[in-house]
């Protein structure tokens, strides 16, 4: 990881959804799905994005790919701000970033053969047709560990893990520099998860692209990521290099997340649960620090003022008022 210009730079990304009600479809509320998120991904780097369900992880992923329009903020890909681009202007940039979804059953068109699914991006971008396309698809199949003779098969003839490999091959077909993985293994069996994660790591070594890797499973994130960002209710509360974050979590929410990771040792003593209750509604997020309703170290200031992400160590940022805004060292 060099200190060059980052591949992806997201600044103050906001996505609000209007809640409409009544006969006149008036705006009666706002869902703060993503509420001012900033991060960057360097070339060849994997940034893990973790958080509970509904914290806005997937919305960030879709906004980065312009599958949802951000309400405000900037998304720079290779230095170009892609937020204001029209569909036509966006097309060349689409080649640089691709996505792998969570549900390998719903992310493949059931009426197309696996070979057509992987080859379609090539045809759409005019990169290869006919024989050349077939050969390229066969190559991609081999890269993700599928047999080229499986190109004729339809998605339902594959297992979940194989389908996810097809999705990865499709994402690879355009030679992207960024692949957004939206919980790519959470729908798979544990034994298959490891295979797919290792495939992703291998592919990154060979091709040097970056991942924005979204997951709620910390063990998976720990395995694949170089850096990890923790999201809570539409905001990033902590971001640091993987080893630093796992050794030295400073935000109470991160600490709670880490404490909740199951340990494969029946004799291990479980820590007392550090967070109770549910995530508050993003329609009316709590004032100040969004986590104050569940934080055991809550202070008066937390309920009023929203903490900003500040440096709390080397390449370690945290948004917490504890210890003068550097979070709570364990």
Near another protein by CB under 8 A, which window of 5-13, 102-110, 194-202, 239-247?
102-110
Phi, psi of 146 (to 5 degrees): -115, 155
Out of 46, 107, 177, 193, point to the residue binding another protein (CB under 8 A).
Answer: 107
Which residues lie closer than 8 Å to 137 by C-beta, 6 or more apart?
Answer: 115, 118, 119, 122, 148, 151, 169, 173
Out of 7, 65, 221, 302, point to the residue binding another protein (CB under 8 A).
Answer: 65
Q: What is the DSSP letter of 167?
A: H
Compute the C-alpha angle 167/173/179, nearest 5°: 65
Phi-psi region of 122 (alpha: psi -120 to 50; beta: other; left: phi over 0): alpha
Q: Is 121 in the site for another protein (CB under 8 A)?
A: yes
Out of 20, 27, 91, 152, point to the residue binding another protein (CB under 8 A).
Answer: 91
| Smallest gap from residue 229 Cβ to another protein (A) | 20
Out of 127, 150, 154, 325, point to the residue binding another protein (CB under 8 A).
Answer: 154
In contact, 148 and 121? CB cutoff 8 Å: no
| Smallest gap from residue 303 Cβ to another protein (A) | 32
* Count of positions on this chain that bind another protein (CB under 8 A): 31
Our CB check for another protein shows the closer of 32 and 292 to be 32
Out of 1, 28, 106, 261, point to the residue binding another protein (CB under 8 A).
Answer: 106
Partner residues linked to 11 by β-bridges? 74
Q: What is the DSSP letter of 179?
A: E
Near another protein by CB under 8 A, which window of 78-86, 167-175, 216-224, 283-291?
167-175
How far is residue 5's CA from residue 169's CA, in Å, rounded to a whole number?
28
How far is residue 187's CA from residue 174's CA, in Å, rounded to a whole number?
25
Our CB check for another protein shows the closer of 98 and 255 to be 98
Residue 312's alpha-carbon distances to 87, 139, 291, 325, in angstroms, are: 40, 46, 19, 8
Our CB check for another protein shows the closer of 46 and 59 to be 59
Out of 98, 164, 204, 293, point to the residue binding another protein (CB under 8 A).
Answer: 98
Helix (H) or strand (E) holding 256: helix 252-259
In contact, 238 and 317? CB cutoff 8 Å: yes
How far is residue 89's CA from residue 94's CA, in Å, rounded to a whole number?
10
Our CB check for another protein shows the closer of 115 and 288 to be 115
Provide the 3-class DSSP secondary structure of residue 236. Answer: strand
Residues 8 to 37 in contact with another protein, rule: CB under 8 A: none
Our CB check for another protein shows the closer of 97 and 140 to be 97
Q: Is 282 in the site for another protein (CB under 8 A)?
A: no
Our CB check for another protein shows the closer of 179 and 224 to be 179
Residues 32 to 61 in contact with another protein, rule: CB under 8 A: 58
Our CB check for another protein shows the closer of 282 and 327 to be 282
Residues that bind another protein (CB under 8 A): 58, 62, 65, 67, 90-91, 94-95, 97-99, 101-103, 105-112, 120-121, 124-125, 154, 156, 167, 170, 174
């Amino acid at each position: 990881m060099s200190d060059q210009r980052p591949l992806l730079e997201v600044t103050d990304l906001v996505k609000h959804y209007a809640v409409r009600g009544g006969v006149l479809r008036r705006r009666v509320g706002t869902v703060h799905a993503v509420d001012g998120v900033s991060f960057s991904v360097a070339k060849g780097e994997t940034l893990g994005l973790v958080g509970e369900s509904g914290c806005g992880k997937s919305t960030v992923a879709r906004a980065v790919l312009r599958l949802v329009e951000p309400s405000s903020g900037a998304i720079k890909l290779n230095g170009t701000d892609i937020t204001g681009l029209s569909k036509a202007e966006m097309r060349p940039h689409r080649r640089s970033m691709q996505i792998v979804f969570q549900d390998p059953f719903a992310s493949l068109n059931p009426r197309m053969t696996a070979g057509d699914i992987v080859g379609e991006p090539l045809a759409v971008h005019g990169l290869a047709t006919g024989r050349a396309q077939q050969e390229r698809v066969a190559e991609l199949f081999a890269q993700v560990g599928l047999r080229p003779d499986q190109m004729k098969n339809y998605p339902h003839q594959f297992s979940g893990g194989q389908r996810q490999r097809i999705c990865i091959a499709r994402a690879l077909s355009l030679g992207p520099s960024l692949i957004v993985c939206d919980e790519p293994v959470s729908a798979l069996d544990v034994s298959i998860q490891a295979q797919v994660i290792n495939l992703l790591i291998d592919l990154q070594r060979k091709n040097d692209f970056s991942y924005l890797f979204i997951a709620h499973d910390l063990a998976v994130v720990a395995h694949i990521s170089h850096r990890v960002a923790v999201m809570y209710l539409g905001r990033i509360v902590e971001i640091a290099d993987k080893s630093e974050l796992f050794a030295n979590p400073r935000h109470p929410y991160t600490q709670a997340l880490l404490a909740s990771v199951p340990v494969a040792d029946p004799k291990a003593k479980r820590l007392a649960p550090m967070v109770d209750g549910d995530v508050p509604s993003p329609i009316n997020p709590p004032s100040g620090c969004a986590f104050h309703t569940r934080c055991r170290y809550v202070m008066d200031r937390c309920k009023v003022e929203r903490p900003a992400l500040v440096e709390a160590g080397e390449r370690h940022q945290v948004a917490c008022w504890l210890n003068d805004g550097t979070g709570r060292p364990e």
